[in-house]
Amino acid sequence: MTITFVGHGYVGLVTACVFADLGNEVYVIGHTTEKLNKLKNGDPIIYEPGLQEVLKRNLDSKRLHFTNSYEAVNKSEVVFIAVGTPPKPSGEADLSTVLEVAQQIGKNLGNHYTVVSCKSTVPVGTNRKIEAIIKEVVKTADFDVASVPEFLREGSALKDTFEPDRIVIGANNEKATNLLLKLHEGLTGERVTGTLESAELIKYAANSILATKISFANLIALLSEKVGANVEEVLTGIGLDRRIGNIFLSPGVGYGGSCFPKDVMALTHIGTTLGVDMGLLHGVTDINLAIKDLFYEKIKATAPDKNIGVWGLSFKPDTDDIREAPAFYVIGKLLEDDYQITAYDPEATENVKRLLRDKISYSDSAADAAKDKDALIIFTEWNEFKQFDLNELKKLLKKPVIIDGRNIYEPKKMKDMGFTYASVGRKTT
């Protein structure tokens, strides 16, 4: 098929590459010349394992094209909207870009049947708005709208897209659903088809329950510390019940990224405006904030001397994304307390430099960030940190103090090696 994506963020770019890899002719529309030029030259702009190879492969095969022109819409059977829906101060999703893009698509539809599919995370009812906008722009066009939410995770985006657990397609009629089912034929995973509204709600509900699991784990971590339990033992004990499961139940320094914080707030806003008590999700957000504040308190209590090293700045491993990264929030508070911070992250340093500039120092290696420091703080569980030689780490640090926001080491082992080791939901040893 010939298909077009509007937007080349994580979702647009990764999905476009995957569909090109499956043999489709794929156009990607963007509006920043500098970014489009990089993409045309095989630079994916974002750090995502494996993405550069797939991008280059499909550029070489000439199945993948980047452009700033909406002309591609004209020859496409399916047009995906994959632009951002950032939160407004109220938590409500800002749909201005999505609706603007809908207009442009409407103006450029061809005189054959097209399915305009929304991959952006949008509140229930948005696809009907998109449909109305296109109908207003072009009275006679032969098109349907569909909601095809995306479930890929940063860091494992390609695998998640090639081998998803499920593909959700919401549409008004079978014609649109069938065309999209055909397009997705090369991908694994269960198919869930239904209404536009169901598909729109599935996306928010999925992210919200995942965030709820994390906040629940963090709440149990907090209680574990109070009662002297070990949260890892507690969560293993409950997670082995197959009705509960242990996936996505890791406590830490809170969830971040461009999705969970935004989507939980957006669903809270949707429910509240409909008169539904959204207390559960308010709680999820509140715990996520509180857990970061408590981690900051833990750093102050465990590391009173203020020349500290930081390992990990991205909101999770295997990405350079720092949006809503817990590290960022806690570092901001530590700076107010005059901590001197030297940070290392395998991929995210450049992004942090653009924002924090010389407020902190940056290291080229994990070892350098730890060298001669009064304490080491861990915000992200990169493999490099899990595998670091702890004997070397002890020699590097001025004081053997570690405050670990991702529970990557064993407290007993750390104690035996002579570290002061504070983690999440476990006794400081």
CB-nearer residue toward ligand UGA: 374 or 384: 384
In the bound complex, what is the minimum distance in angstroms from residue 6's beta carbon to ligand UGA? 17
Q: Give the count of beta carbons closer than 10 Å to the beta carbon of residue 416.
A: 10
In our burial notation (b when 16+ CB lie closer than 10 A, e otherwise), range 113-135 reads ebbbbbbbbbbbebbebbbebbe
Residue among 308 and 313 whose Cβ is closer to ligand UGA: 313
Least distance between ligand UGA and beta carbon 135 (Å): 29
Report how far residue 52's alpha carbon sits from residue 45's, in angstroms, rounded to the nearest whole number: 9
Q: Are residues 407 and 421 in contact, defined by beta-carbon separation less than 8 angstroms?
A: no
Q: Does 212 bind ligand UGA (CB under 6 A)?
A: no
Angstrom distance (rounded) from CA 7 to CA 104: 13
Element (H, E) at 340: strand 340-344
Give 44 or 252: the residue with its C-beta nearer to ligand UGA. 252
Distant-in-sequence, close-in-space partners of 311: CB < 8 Å, separation ≥ 6: 343, 344, 345, 366, 369, 370, 376, 377, 378, 379, 380, 382, 385
| Rounded distance between C-alpha atoms, residue 308 and residue 374, angstroms | 5
Asked if 25 interacts with ligand UGA (CB under 6 A), we say no
312 is a site residue for ligand UGA (CB under 6 A): no
Which residue in the list 64, 122, 211, 259 is annotated as catalytic?
259
Of 16 and 72, nearer to ligand UGA (C-beta) is 16
Is 259 annotated in the active site? yes
Q: Given the complex with ligand UGA, which of 110 and 155 has the nearer CB atom?
A: 155
- Residue 323 engages ligand UGA in binding (rule: CB under 6 A): no
> Using N-to-C axis directions, what is the helix angle for 196-227 and 231-239, rounded to 10°?
140
Q: Given the complex with ligand UGA, which of 133 and 235 has the nearer CB atom? A: 235
How far apart (Å, rounded) are the C-alpha atoms in residues 190 and 167?
6
Token duo for residue 66: 């980047």
Structure-token match 């603007």, residue found: 100
- What is the contact mask toward ligand UGA in residues 385 to 424, using x (rule: CB under 6 A)? ----------------------------------------
Using the contact rule CB under 6 A, the part of the chain among 34-42, 47-55, 93-101, 257-265 near ligand UGA is: 257-265
Among 19, 204, 255, 388, binds ligand UGA (CB under 6 A): 255
CB neighbour burial string for 166-186, b if at least 16 within 10 angstroms, e if fewer: ebbbbbeeeebbebbeebbee
> What is the size of the binding site for ligand UGA (CB under 6 A)?
20
Q: Which position among 12, 91, 170, 257 is part of the footprint of ligand UGA (CB under 6 A)?
A: 257
386: left (phi over 0), alpha (psi -120 to 50) or beta: alpha
Residues comprising the chain, all counted:
429
Q: Rule CB under 6 A: is residue 250 a binding residue for ligand UGA?
A: yes
Q: Does 315 bind ligand UGA (CB under 6 A)?
A: yes
Q: Nearest approach, Cβ of 248 to ligand UGA (angstroms)? A: 4
Nearer of residues 113 and 248 to ligand UGA, judged by Cβ = 248
Residue 345 touching ligand UGA (CB under 6 A): no
CB of 399 to ligand UGA, least distance (A): 27
Token pair in block for residue 325:
């990264």
Q: Which of 65, 298, 316, 373 is in the footprint of ligand UGA by CB under 6 A?
A: 316
Among 30, 170, 252, 411, binds ligand UGA (CB under 6 A): 252
- Rule CB under 6 A: which of 41-60 touch ligand UGA? none
3-class state of residue 403 by DSSP: strand
Residue from the set 161, 177, 207, 363 that interacts with ligand UGA by CB under 6 A: 207
Q: Please identify, among the stretches 19-27, 242-250, 304-312, 410-418, the one whose residues bind ligand UGA according to the rule CB under 6 A.
A: 242-250
DSSP string for residues in 11-54: HHHHHHHHHHHTT-EEEEE-S-HHHHHHHHTT--SS--TTHHHH
Q: Does 7 bind ligand UGA (CB under 6 A)?
A: no
- List Cα–Cα distances, 220 to 93, 239, 325, in angstroms: 30, 13, 22
**Binding string, residues 147-186; x marks residues near ligand UGA by CB under 6 A:** ---xxxxx--------------------------------
Query: Is residue 204 at the binding interface for ligand UGA, with CB under 6 A as the rule?
Result: no
| Cα distance between residue 249 and residue 347, in whole Å | 25
62: buried, middle or exposed (CB in 10 Å: 19+, 13-18, 0-12)? exposed
**Beta-bridge mates of residue 421:** 402
Q: Is 81 in the site for ligand UGA (CB under 6 A)?
A: no
With binding defined as CB under 6 A, does residue 347 bind ligand UGA?
no
Q: Which residues are catalytic?
A: 259
Q: What residues make contact with ligand UGA under the rule CB under 6 A? A: 121, 150-154, 207, 210, 214, 248-250, 252, 255-257, 259-260, 315-316
